[in-house]
């Protein structure tokens, strides 16, 4: 992706726009996971009418899986862009 240059304190800083967007998406997933988990736990407890451990805790793992998928897609697109396509089985 095209890199922008900014002058910061006399230095030239290169910003990879695609990587920046990926990091923001990952941060949004983390924030959503942190917000949704307690809400899901309260809702499940109210629905069951007793406290138990169930699928609502899977939201934490789901957030991690989404971040791993985003990171894998980014790495694969970076590899394909460099032309390092190998036929690995």
Supply the pLDDT for residue 67: 97
Distance (Å, rounded) from C-alpha 49 to C-alpha 29? 29
pLDDT of residue 12: 76
pLDDT of residue 9: 67
The DSSP-derived string for 37-77 is HHHHHHHHHHHHTS----GGGHHHHHHHHHHHHHHHHHHHH
- Domain total for the chain? 1
- 88 located within any domain: no
Lowest model confidence (mean pLDDT) among 17-21, 66-70, 76-80: 76-80
Residue 61 counted as domain residue: yes
Q: pTM of the entire structure?
A: 0.73
Among 10-24, 53-67, 73-87, name the one with the lowest average pLDDT: 73-87
CB atoms inside a 10 Å sphere around CB 19: 13
Q: Is the pLDDT of residue 40 over 80?
A: yes
Which residues constitute the domain of residue 28? 3-80
CB atoms within 10 A of CB 83: 6
């Amino acid at each position: 992706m095209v890199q922008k240059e900014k002058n910061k304190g006399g230095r030239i800083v290169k910003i990879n726009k695609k990587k920046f967007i990926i990091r923001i998406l990952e941060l949004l997933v983390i924030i959503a996971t942190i917000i949704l988990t307690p809400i899901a736990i309260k809702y499940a407890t109210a629905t069951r009418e007793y406290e138990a451990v169930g699928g609502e805790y899977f939201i934490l793992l789901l957030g991690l899986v989404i971040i791993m998928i985003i990171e894998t897609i980014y790495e694969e697109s970076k590899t394909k862009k460099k032309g390092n396509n190998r036929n690995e089985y």
